[in-house]
Amino acid sequence: MIYTQSPLAIGLFFAFVIFVLGLSFYMARRTTSSAGYYAAGGNIHWFVNGIAFAGDYLSAASFLGICGMIATSGYDGWMYAIGYLAGWMVALFLVAEPMKRLGKYTFTDALDSKFNSKGIQLMAAISTLVISVFYLIPQMVGAGVLVQPLLGLPHWVGVCIVGVVVTIIVATAGMASTTYVQFFKGGLLLVFTTIVVGGVLFRGLSTSPDQGGTKDYHAFQTLTAQVAADGSLQVSDPAFAAAADWKTDVYGTAGFVKLVSNGVESVWKMNEGTAGIQLDETLTVNTLADGTKLYNGAAKEDGKFFAVGHIKELKVNGQNVAQTGAVGPLAYLSAIKDSTVVLWGKKYLIDGGNHIEVYYQKPTAGSRLLRPGLKFKVDNAAPIDKFNFISLMLALFCGTAALPHILIRYYTVPSQAAARKSTIVAIAGIGFFYIMTLFLGLGAMTNGVINITDNNMSAPLLALSFGVVLFAVISSIAFATVLGTVSGLIVAASGAVAHDLMDNFLGLHMTDHGKVRAGKLAAVVVGGIAIYLGIIFEGMNVSFLVGWAFAVAASANLPAILMLLFWDKTTSKGIAASITVGLVTALGLILISPDMWVRYGLLPNDAPIAFNSPALISIPASFLALVIVSLLTQKRGAEVTEGAEA
Amino acid sequence: MGHGPAVKLGKDNAQAYKSRLGVYLFIVYTLFYAGFIAINSIKPALMEVVIGGQTFAVIYGFALIVVAFLMAIVYNSMCNAAEARLNK
């Protein structure tokens, strides 16, 4: 509807996949040992590793999700970026060097470095597997979302392409090829987002965004209406007529009115003012009883469903203007702050057997969208809203340093100093990227490119407004983003199975070659599971699932890592208990949360708990479990941890 | 067992110093981040106040990103200096 397939995009996409596979097979010839497979031989340069960190971290959720959320909810989307970046300070200051010092291939190694405890090996491996799989689902779903506009293929084909390509990458060469794929992709992502942001600033702001003169923006109509003495609605344009029961039908009770013009139905938002009723044009997706979907009353291919995103009133230095021309980054933000931007609300209506999604205009002051509060309820918030907000920000802060695919990257560099330096490169790259995302999101918000039914595509569609070449490149990079992140996760998961569970926990004592083979086999199995889950979770919100993964990682892993390093009374049973309690509490609270209740087809208010973000309970619970169990299992002089020197 | 570093690491006499420095800097940044959350939870309207042409939310957000990078640079140079001094 909003986009059509481009041969260039398809060509670039396949060129990239072939390049990545070629790189992978080349690396495979050099990967014969388990150190090579799981840790790239520990020989990656810190700068390459730092950019690869950025590549790992800037997943589908960061690139597509955050830009889409900023485009539709303003600053609140950027809050995720701020939380994600702040989490790197935990990684740098507390975790980077000790992880490098204590571990060999996996995060379990570091936790178990002094204990050789079966409990730690089992629980840490399970936690790695659970978090990796949770993180894999949104990536696979993101792949499916991307492949539809890029290649014109159905969701499941996208998931299968990613699954198969990544499994080949991982099963052939492990961490070495994964690292170079991430380096390549992370670098391209930084360069090309900068180019798009440069384009956004050069183009400036306009009340009728015509995408650089290439495409007219749909001018959303406004009509006026009066209520006649007999109660009927008289529309200013006589071509439109409302039904007699316009006030009491499903539309009227929800603040809308259905009008008919030349046999075509449309839905309008009613705004009552002193001069009568103002009717604003909406966008609708109507799912008929037989499953047919109509976009603004017509089939998808007819192109009646418009891209959105415009400024209603543009002000520069207190003056109303039609366009700004090229502006600097601060002037761009300042102009948005002083202007009124049209955001979009959404309502579900049921009219007979038809299910209708109505998207309506919400003119919003720029100063309001450049501060939190449009998505998260912070103004006059109830205590439970505040709890949810603080809990989410805590999960983002604590989750980064506990993600298994991030932690294993500390084993690919040769020294502690290199681990530290690569984290700083990551912070620079990721911080720079997140500043760019603010402009990408606001650019999409004001350039008439948003597909309001799926804001995940906002960044690639913004690129499309600068021409198909940039769209092709950005889409290929976005796809590579998924490929790279999935590769890292599968290496982490395969390490947990082959190294932690099979070799250490079960004591199979495999040969070095056997360990590599077991890892590759595990990669294929985990890849298969990821493909399956990516298909069945189609349509599930990507950032929702990433939020889960962060909350679970922060609860299960971080307390164990920090206490091992900084509390000398920590015992192996304390660590195992902490991981178990963190994992079970976080997962349990998520499963009984209002958001999940909706997914079970139940009413959110009937959920046993009123909050969606578990971190504020599950992280302290995990710490508490560690402290209590450690104190109960002290052995005089027997267990001394690395934390003693801190 | 299969534990221990993937590559052989030399003895690091600066370890305790770096660890302590990391904790101090972590506390500083955490307080900075906590301030952001606290303002949003307690007095969110403050985020809309305009300072120097930008909302306070934009300024605080940029500051959280830029300060993170600057603190990382400072931490790294202090660690480098300590490693050079103590690992002679």
Q: Tell me if ipTM is over 0.95.
A: no
Task: Taking residues A437-452, report their average pLDDT.
Answer: 91
Residues A231-247 have pLDDT tens digits of 888 888 888 988 888 88
Instruction: Tell me the two tokens of residue A430.
Output: 């990721």
Residue A397 near chain B (CB below 8 Å) = yes
Q: H-type helices in A58-95, by residue range? A: 60, 67-73, 75-90
Q: Please report residues of B whose CB lies closer than 8 A to that of A116.
A: 1, 3
Q: Which residue has the tokens 């989410």?
A: A392
Which of B44, B55, B65 minimises the CB distance to A435? B65
Q: Which residues contact A391 (CB under 8 A, 6 or more apart)?
A: A551, A611, A613, A614, A615, A616, A617
- Using the beta-carbon criterion (under 8 Å), do A333 and B58 form an inter-chain contact? yes
Closest CA to B58 of A437, A75, A201, A393: A75
What are the boundaries of each domain within chain A? Answer: 39-204+382-645, 222-369
- Tell the burial category of A559 from Cβ atoms under 10 Å away from its Cβ (0-12, 13-18, 19+): buried
Residue A89 near chain B (CB below 8 Å) = yes
Which of A105, A330, A646 minimises the CB distance to B19? A646
| Sequence-separated contacts (24+) of A14-18 with Cβ below 8 Å | A16/A476, A16/A479, A16/A480, A17/A161, A17/A165, A17/A483
- Using the beta-carbon criterion (under 8 Å), do A86 and B56 form an inter-chain contact? no
The answer as to CATH 3.40.50.300 being correct for domain A39-204+382-645 is no
- Quote the minimal CA–CA distance from B41 to chain A in Å: 6
- Tell the burial category of A549 from Cβ atoms under 10 Å away from its Cβ (0-12, 13-18, 19+): buried
Residue A411 near chain B (CB below 8 Å) = yes
Contact status, residue A460 vs residue A95, Cβ threshold 8 Å: no
- The pLDDT score that the predictor gives to residue A479 is 78
The number of helices, as runs of H, and strands, as runs of E, in chain B is: 2, 2
- Using the beta-carbon criterion (under 8 Å), do A504 and B47 form an inter-chain contact? no
- Quote the minimal CA–CA distance from A329 to chain B in Å: 11
- The pLDDT score that the predictor gives to residue A592 is 92
Closest CA to A127 of A435, A535, A495, A414: A495
Residue of A nearest to B56 (CA): A371
The reported pTM is 0.87
- Using the beta-carbon criterion (under 8 Å), do A109 and B57 form an inter-chain contact? no
Task: Taking residues B48-63, report their average pLDDT.
Answer: 94
Mean pLDDT, all residues of chain B: 87
Residue A339 in 3-state DSSP?
coil
Q: Please report residues of B whose CB lies closer than 8 A to that of A424.
A: 69, 72-73, 75-76
Residues A539-568 have pLDDT tens digits of 666 666 787 888 999 999 999 989 988 888
Residues A459-511 have pLDDT tens digits of 888 998 898 888 888 888 887 777 777 877 887 788 778 777 777 777 777 77
- Using the beta-carbon criterion (under 8 Å), do A112 and B3 form an inter-chain contact? yes
How many CB atoms within 10 Å of residue B24?
A: 11
**Which range among A57-61, A303-307, A332-336 shows the weakest confidence by mean pLDDT?**
A57-61
Contact status, residue A97 vs residue A110, Cβ threshold 8 Å: no
Q: Please report residues of B whose CB lies closer than 8 A to that of A113.
A: 3-4
Residue of A nearest to B61 (CA): A82
- Using the beta-carbon criterion (under 8 Å), do A116 and B4 form an inter-chain contact? no
Closest CA to A55 of A404, A478, A399: A478
| Crossing angle of helices A542-556 and A615-632, rounded to 10° | 20
- The pLDDT score that the predictor gives to residue A431 is 95
**Which comes out higher in pLDDT, residue A273 or A629?**
A629
Residues A267-276 have pLDDT tens digits of 999 988 777 8
Residue of B nearest to A411 (CA): B6
How many CB atoms within 10 Å of residue B86?
A: 14
Q: Please report residues of B whose CB lies closer than 8 A to that of A101.
A: 5, 9, 12, 15
Contact status, residue A208 vs residue A217, Cβ threshold 8 Å: yes
- Using the beta-carbon criterion (under 8 Å), do A41 and B6 form an inter-chain contact? yes
Q: Which residue has the tokens 């730092």?
A: A50
pLDDT band at residue A406, thresholds of 50, 70 and 90?
confident
Q: Please report residues of B whose CB lies closer than 8 A to that of A370.
A: 54-55, 57-58
- The pLDDT score that the predictor gives to residue B14 is 83
Query: How many Å separate Cα B28 from the centre of its chain?
Result: 7
- Using the beta-carbon criterion (under 8 Å), do A116 and B44 form an inter-chain contact? no
- Tell the burial category of A606 from Cβ atoms under 10 Å away from its Cβ (0-12, 13-18, 19+): exposed
Strands A283-287 and A319-321: unpaired
Whole-Å CA distances, A274 to A277, A278, A289, B44: 8, 10, 39, 32
- The pLDDT score that the predictor gives to residue A397 is 92
Instruction: Tell me the two tokens of residue A497.
Output: 């199975």
Which of A89, A334, A434 minimises the CB distance to B29? A89
Residues A561-616 have pLDDT tens digits of 899 888 889 999 999 999 999 999 999 999 899 888 877 777 778 889 988 889 99
- Using the beta-carbon criterion (under 8 Å), do A104 and B5 form an inter-chain contact? yes
Residue A42 has pLDDT above 70, yes or no: no
Closest CA to A402 of A122, A621, A170, A135: A135
Strands A293-295 and A310-316: unpaired
The kind and range of the H/E element at A358 are strand A354-365
Residue of A nearest to B12 (CA): A416
Q: Which residue has the tokens 């300070």?
A: A89
Instruction: Tell me the two tokens of residue A498.
Output: 């082959």
Q: How many CB pairs under 8 A join A and B?
A: 173
